[in-house]
Amino acid sequence: MALLRLWFSCRGSELGFYREPHCRRARWARLSSEYNLDDWASAPFNAPMTVDPPTSHQSGLFKHSLLLLMGTQIGNVATMLYQIVMMHQLDRVEYGVLASLLSLILIIGTPLEALRTTVAHQVALLTRTGQSGAIGAVLWHWARALMIAALIFFLLGLVFQAPMTRLLQLPVSTLMVWTATIMAGSLFIPFFAGALQGLQAFLWMAIHGQVWAVTRFGVALLCLAWIGRSAFSGLVAQAIAVVASVAVGLWAIRRAYRRPTVTVIAPVGGWSYFLWSLCALAGYAVLMNADVALVKIFFSPEDAGEFAQAATIARSIVFLPVPIAAAMFPKVVSAGLSTASDRVILVKSVVFTGSLILFAGVACTLAASPIWRFFTGESPTPDALRLVRWMIWALSPLGLTFLLMNFELAQRRFRAPLSLLLLAAAYIVGVSIWHDTYWQVLTLITGLTITSLLLMSVDVLRGGSKRSAAPQSIRTS
């Protein structure tokens, strides 16, 4: 904790953030009256506030998207190789165990993308409003909170390891302890990603994102040789990769953030925005990642392993828009009103994303048989081919849903993103009742993912009618 405090304070020690409490309160009162900082930091549905962003902040969508896409391909290849190696080296039951635990990590970790959007939103808005001197204190504020949250995650893992082991039909409870440890460390990954995204340091963001995947693959090969062909080897590789990602994140922030000469005390609120974003992303996480964990609960270990293989292949398509959404987010940050340039950026992002998903979906559908053989090393059965093709198109709408959700969160509009919670609840209840076959589960997934895209699209279109004509300054009321 002292190390992190020293790290961030060396970038923003002139902020006056660490001085005596009475001095800090006096400075905060003065700046709050001048900039309305308390209002800015407190409410998610704040009074209308628009910013006329400099052109430089909104330019380069294609370039930055391409940079992140090219950078993420290293990670995508490493992730694919990791999955291929695990499918080849582990038997179907053992791979089902590993996939269910990784799915659980994603279910918990994906909502924490709310931390990325919150930090990115704050850092980008501070930069665009000439208050970049506050960024160091904002980062330290969130880092402190994450240390407490990480400890809580780890303790919860220890407390609930026995019931979770029984629920997921795990061979040993040690796997749940490792999973909880990975979850605790993973809290810091979206934090660093959000800071780099808000600073529009996309090269460092790409490097930080790919170190994790490359490290995991390399360590997994060593673990399979030294520890053995088990799910435990995959978890150890995941844990070491998280440590590497955190270390690179610290270094990247150090390199990307240059302290300005003008100093400002940080508006270190943002909890309301974080909590609303957390709820929205929790719904998305269930729709995106809960399938493998739910099938692991209700189906036999052998069937769960086959389903996990199909889901892993299909999910690679859904992650294609992530770099585009990441590049778009800091370019469309506002407090509820859209400018014309925001809408242009959104349309470009949707076209780019839709084209990628359509091309990848058609290609993978036509080549389902060789792709299955490449991933698993086995000849696919007719049911396996049907399963992977259906999974591809069932999950594909979530790619566009993710993009539109990021736009809504950047614009501080939460109604449609929060509706994903209702769809997630319907998903869990539906699978709990209707799980005689794979196809029943897939029917539910398909209907709910299409519904999520429709809800998000309608809300984005409605939000377009509330655009700002030509904002010239920050306005609060």
Question: One digit per residue, pLDDT tens: the chain, 477 residues?
Answer: 444 444 444 444 333 333 334 444 444 344 344 334 333 333 333 333 333 444 444 444 555 555 555 656 677 788 888 988 998 888 888 888 898 898 888 888 778 777 887 888 788 878 777 777 778 788 888 888 889 989 998 898 888 888 888 888 888 888 888 999 998 998 899 899 888 888 877 778 878 878 888 999 999 999 999 988 888 999 999 999 999 999 998 888 888 777 655 555 444 456 777 888 888 888 888 998 888 888 888 888 888 888 888 888 888 766 666 666 666 766 676 655 667 777 888 888 888 888 888 888 898 899 989 988 888 888 888 888 999 999 999 998 988 898 888 888 878 888 888 889 999 999 999 999 988 888 899 999 999 999 999 998 988 887 655 544 333 333 322
Number of helices and strands in the chain (H, E): 22, 0
Contact assessment for residue 2 and residue 143, using Cβ atoms and an 8 Å cutoff: no
CB 273 within 8 A of CB 412: yes
Query: What are the residue ranges spanned by the domains of the chain?
Result: 2-20+59-461
**pLDDT of res. 72:** 61
Neighbours of 457 (CB within 10 A): 15
Q: Is 98 helix (H, G, I), strand (E, B) or coil?
A: helix
Q: How far apart are alpha carbons 126 and 114 in whole angstroms?
A: 18
Q: Are 24 and 163 in contact (CB under 8 A)?
A: no
State how far the alpha carbon of 400 is from the alpha carbons of 352, 362, 405, 447, in Å: 10, 16, 8, 15
pLDDT value, residue 212? 86
Query: Which residue is associated with the tokens 């400002």?
Result: 264
Tell me the chain's radius of gyration from C-alpha atoms. 22
DSSP state of 319: T
Instruction: Return the pLDDT at 302.
Output: 82
The whole-number pLDDT of residue 35 equals: 37
Burial of 6: CB neighbours in 10 Å, binned 0-12, 13-18, 19+: exposed
Buried b (16+ CB within 10 A) or exposed e, 345-381: bbeebbebbeebbeebbeebbeebeebbeebbeeebe
pLDDT value of residue 315? 80
How far is the C-alpha of 238 from the C-alpha of 139, rounded, in Å? 25
Question: DSSP label at 381?
Answer: P
Contact 458, 416 (CB under 8 A): yes
